[in-house]
Amino acid sequence: MADTWQHIPILAQDIANLLLQNKSGYYLDGTLGLGGHTKLFLSRLDYNAKILGLDKDAKAIKFAENKVADHRLITRQASYLQASEILKELNWPLLDGALFDLGLSSYQLDDATRGFSFLKSGPLDMRFDNTKGTTAADLVNTLPADKLEYIFRTYGEEHQSKKIALIICQARRETPLKTTTDLANLIEKHIPRFGKTHPATRIFQALRIAVNEELETVSKAPKMLKDIIKPGGRAAFLTFHSLEDRIIKQAFKEMEKTGAWRLVNKKLINPSPEEIKNNSRARSAGLRVIERVL
């Protein structure tokens, strides 16, 4: 069923080249998704290698297990911030490498019932783990205008944040915003479109980040690397917008200053024009890799 969605792992060869230094090693795919990166990694690793695949999304894990179909993959439904506990539980050594792909799986975007995209009508949900927590509908229908404005400005870098927040507060007095198209159509009615970009694009990004507390989670990830990566091991972060990349870039700089870590690439690695042509979702991706020295 995973093959229903077109799933092309981004910068996969680059990541494999930089990360897989020990063919018999232990690795982490902190955001397993549909298992595209992991499938490639296992094709390059030998029989004794192991990969721990984590994801908050139970459906994604099932898809990945079917797609990868390899005894060397161990999966858990968990945040990557729980990696250290899970490694201890499995009695694994410190890792040779870890990947954190901070993008959204294609299937999550394409599945209307998840509410991540305004291209199809679906419930305003946006939770990675849709069994618990606050939905996007909860936020847009209950938060005061100043809190919505903060979310749109901070997480979406949206210039019209105040106007959109006020429009939402006014509209919900008459009827709650329940679906992705309710929200997208409301914004499009009041905010002009510039070029091909839908005026709700940044708002949807902002709500998704807020619902899943993505930036808080991302900022904690570099701090836990010392608990999961062995000396000589590497961690790769694949980011998809400037907010995430800024957090990782700054964290890596601080880590390098301690002398315990070394930047593998000083400059952000971006997909080639050919990769972007074959997979438009790769266009905003950037890769940073760091190696533990001590």
Q: What is the pLDDT of residues 197-246, one digit of tens each?
A: 899 999 999 999 999 999 999 999 999 999 999 999 999 999 999 999 99
- What top-level class would CATH report for the domain 2-107+215-292? alpha beta
Q: What is the pLDDT of residues 64-103, one digit of tens each?
A: 999 999 999 999 999 999 999 999 999 999 999 999 999 8
β-bridge partners, 54: 76
What does residue 198 show for φ and ψ, rounded to 5 degrees? -70, 135
Contacts of 211 (CB under 8 A, 6+ apart): 126, 127, 133, 134, 135, 136, 139
Q: How many C-beta neighbours within 10 Å does residue 44 have?
A: 13
Q: What is the pLDDT of residues 103-133, one digit of tens each?
A: 877 778 888 999 999 999 999 999 999 899 9
Domain ranges of the chain: 2-107+215-292, 119-213
Q: Is the pTM of this model over 0.75?
A: yes
Written as one letter, the residue type at 261 is: W
- What top-level class would CATH report for the domain 119-213? mainly alpha
Q: Are 109 and 249 in contact (CB under 8 A)?
A: no
DSSP-derived pairing of the beta strands 73-77 and 50-55 = parallel
Residue with tokens 């729980």: 82
User: How far, in whole angstroms, is CA 151 from its chain's centroid?
Assistant: 18
